[in-house]
Structure 1
Amino acid sequence: MNVIVKIAGSIVFVFLCSCSVQPGGKLKKEQWVLGGFERSKGINPIIEPDTSSVFYDPILKKEIRWEDNDTFNPAAVVKGDSVYVIYRAEDRTGKAIGHRTSRLGLAASADGIHFERQKTPVFYPASDEQQDNEWPGGTEDPRLSQTEDGRFVLFYTQWNRKVPRLGLAISTDLKHWTKYGPIFKKSKNRPTLVDEPHKSASIVTVMKGNRQVIAKINGKYWLYWGEHGVYGATSDNLIDWEPVTDKKGELIAFISPRDGYFDSSLTECGPPAVLTDKGIVLLYNGKNHAEKGDKRFNKNTYSAGQGLFDPRDPTSVLARMDVPFLRPMESFEKSGQYIDGTVFIEGLVFFKQKWFLYYGCADSKVAVGIYDPGDPSVMDPLP
């Protein structure tokens, strides 16, 4: 099997010593971890709720202040000479997380830091064939990537307040989208998965020159997904996906929560994974279990970790960080509608020779961390 794993020569990976080599893995103390990411002083948060944004909702048939409660969990992509962020926004129709309606807004930046936002959402529940999957909870938690021929691929959670499902949409301009519905609707390996709760998709990408584009592994598109474990799926057309299962049709978790660690409750996939010369680097969100977690971190807090997978066998874990590289430290990361503290990573782009990581803060705002391969910052310190 031939796999292209070369990347642009300017990209450097900094090794963090606190990581585990998985059983059977051959990786020793080599450089593979992406980061550290620095929070620029006085910049964050870069996107906050806006009470002035008004949108005519096609289902409710009335004007809604669609982003006046919370703006968080952003995806990102580079288009031309700008960074575009698609972020989740909640209105005030409910009183708790998951009980409001979510829509997706669009913001653009020439420097990756200062953004101009559209006043109306670019992606939302409508009177279409996906309404039963997306209403009334909405469209949540986007992940965004780009094909080599310039199409933008959006994975997101369809939330009808019954079953969360991974949906997919494709656009050529980031403003007009074609919805393709649940990604597992045609699954033969596990036909029931489409009606089982599932979310959080991280498609594998690769650097080609200075462009981060969707990659193929063994001739197929490859996706990591899941929150209670990291699972996998493959596709021939980007639209219809087959989960990786065993002979009995059971899902196979490559990474699972670990007692005593920052990811003891959840291991939820983050932004698009990156195929490098060391392997496939997956950035993910770890939730600390209230009783069985790492006592150094707050109960139920979300922090960010990384795992390394074999590019010849994407189900095989080569290494995994034992401590987070990014954790709630700033006030805006520890105060919001999620009071236990959250950095929730969903957007990663290579822009102007640096990596920009976009993340949600306490389910309320959006921030960015920047990794300069030529002058890397340190990882977030332990408490």
Structure 2
Amino acid sequence: MPATTLFTDAAFPLGPFVPYAGNPILRPRGGSWESANLYNPAALVVDDEVVLLYRAHADDIVSHIGLARSSDGYHFEREAEPIFSPQEDYERYGVEDPRIACIDGTYYLTYTGWDRKAARLCLATSTDLRTWTRHGPLFPGFDTFATVDPRGHEWSKAGVIVPVPMQGRWWMYFGEGGLYWATSDDLIHWTPGTPDTEPMYAPTPGSFDADLVEIGTSPVLTANGLLVMLTNGATRTVHDDGTVDVDYRCGQIAIDPDEPTRVLARLQEPWLRPQTFEDLNGLVSNVTFVEGLVQFHGTWFAYYGQSDTTLAVAVHDPARPWGSTLRP
């Protein structure tokens, strides 16, 4: 049976994470649906294997979701065909950026449906990662950039479901631009807790997430009872000719389950930033973008996209915590 995605026995901040020397661990492959770009994976452990649900596309930039398995967290065998592809009008130009939770034998897949105008956070469910039931866009009319850079139409991404109830309800944290929360009684129908003009967490001026913050991965339960989630943050530089450069780095936030509607703490410095050639060059350059996290055989694996083009992993060994300078 699949393991829960609520990992335990951690601390805030989680880490340190070290990028794997063998990155990228997955690249596009020619002549197929994933021939141009492969990135931004959800991750979970199923039957003692790490399973990645990753986004990929050909030159048409219409994203599908593929599946890959690994017995060690580093080396993956991928399936030849995608397991989830555009089908409905609201996703006709891509099913993008998956996150996943497994609760009582059902997989809850959140993803972005893209029609080249609106980005809509959508939900699908499955019991086998093969046959999916779509439940459509979750937050009609919602704009998670409402207080940052309003889109003027629906825009919501990045839904992370807490796989255990809190205060008698199910909770989801979501959003690109700002972070929001929603609750549900049945894991299918979700209600935002605030209007789109009232995020629970907004970008921090002067920081690595000065222009955008987005939920990254499934939550981790720390030893002292906090929920920790890895996040993505971005800054933008607008040049005189109108072109824009972006810089995506990875952060962390902590939430007290007794007060789940506010961020208790944030990591002030990114734990991962663009450094390698693949991080710095690609479809969208200068991007490290984390979406998958697993605790596997005693080690933490954080899976991330490199400049929207390749897929990499950073690893945290709990035997090597912070503060090596002062350890005997």
Change (3 A) 1:107 1:7: closer
Partner of 2:96: 140
From 132, 156, 174, the counterpart of 2:111: 156
Q: How far 1:299 sits from its partner (Å)? A: 5.4
SS in 1 for 2:236: coil
Which residues of 2 match residues 269-280 of structure 1 at below 5 A? 269-276=215-222, 277-280=224-227
From 237, 242, 254, the counterpart of 1:290: 237
* Separation (CA, whole Å) in 1 of partners of 2:141 and 2:248: 33
CA deviation string 1:123-177 (max 9, x = no partner): 0013xxxx11111x11000011111x22111100001112110111111121221
Letter of the 1:139 counterpart: V
CA RMSD of aligned residues (A): 2.2
Partner of 1:114: 75
Letter of the 1:285 counterpart: N
From 365, 369, 378, the counterpart of 2:310: 365
Change (3 A) 1:173 1:268: same
* Separation (CA, whole Å) in 2 of partners of 1:260 and 1:282: 22
* Separation (CA, whole Å) in 2 of partners of 1:337 and 1:250: 30
Change (3 A) 1:235 1:164: same
Does residue 332 (structure 1) correspond to residue 290 (structure 2)? The answer is: no
Which residues of 2 match residues 79-98 of structure 1 at below 5 A? 79-93=46-60
Letter of the 1:107 counterpart: A
Runs of 4+ in 1 over 6 A off after TM superposition: none
From 231, 236, 241, the counterpart of 2:180: 231
Q: How far 1:197 sits from its partner (Å)? A: 1.0
Does residue 50 (structure 1) correspond to residue 29 (structure 2)? The answer is: yes
Partner of 1:353: 298
Does residue 173 (structure 1) correspond to residue 119 (structure 2)? The answer is: no
Q: How far 1:77 sits from its partner (Å)? A: 0.8
Structure with greater Cα Rg: 1
* Separation (CA, whole Å) in 1 of partners of 2:133 and 2:252: 32
Does residue 266 (structure 1) correspond to residue 212 (structure 2)? The answer is: yes
From 295, 299, 306, the counterpart of 2:252: 306
User: Does the 8 Å contact 1:266/1:288 carry over to 2?
Assistant: yes
5+ residue gaps in structure 1?
1-5, 14-31, 53-64, 94-99, 188-194, 205-213, 292-297
User: Does the 8 Å contact 1:371/1:377 carry over to 2?
Assistant: no
* Separation (CA, whole Å) in 1 of partners of 2:116 and 2:77: 31
* Separation (CA, whole Å) in 2 of partners of 1:150 and 1:183: 22
Letter of the 1:279 counterpart: L
* Separation (CA, whole Å) in 2 of partners of 1:263 and 1:257: 5
Q: How far 1:185 sits from its partner (Å)? A: 5.3
Change (3 A) 1:12 1:225: closer
* Separation (CA, whole Å) in 1 of partners of 2:36 and 2:168: 43
User: Does the 8 Å contact 1:37/1:376 carry over to 2?
Assistant: no
Change (3 A) 1:250 1:366: closer
Q: How far 1:320 sits from its partner (Å)? A: 1.0
* Separation (CA, whole Å) in 2 of partners of 1:328 and 1:105: 25
Letter of the 2:58 counterpart: D
Does residue 76 (structure 1) correspond to residue 43 (structure 2)? The answer is: yes
Q: How far 1:250 sits from its partner (Å)? A: 4.9
Letter of the 2:99 counterpart: R
Percent of aligned pairs with the same residue? 42
SS in 1 for 2:90: helix
Partner of 1:281: 228
5+ residue gaps in structure 2?
1-5, 143-152, 239-243
Does residue 243 (structure 1) correspond to residue 192 (structure 2)? The answer is: yes
Corresponding pairs, count: 304
CA deviation string 1:79-113 (max 9, x = no partner): 011011010011112xxxxxx21101110001111
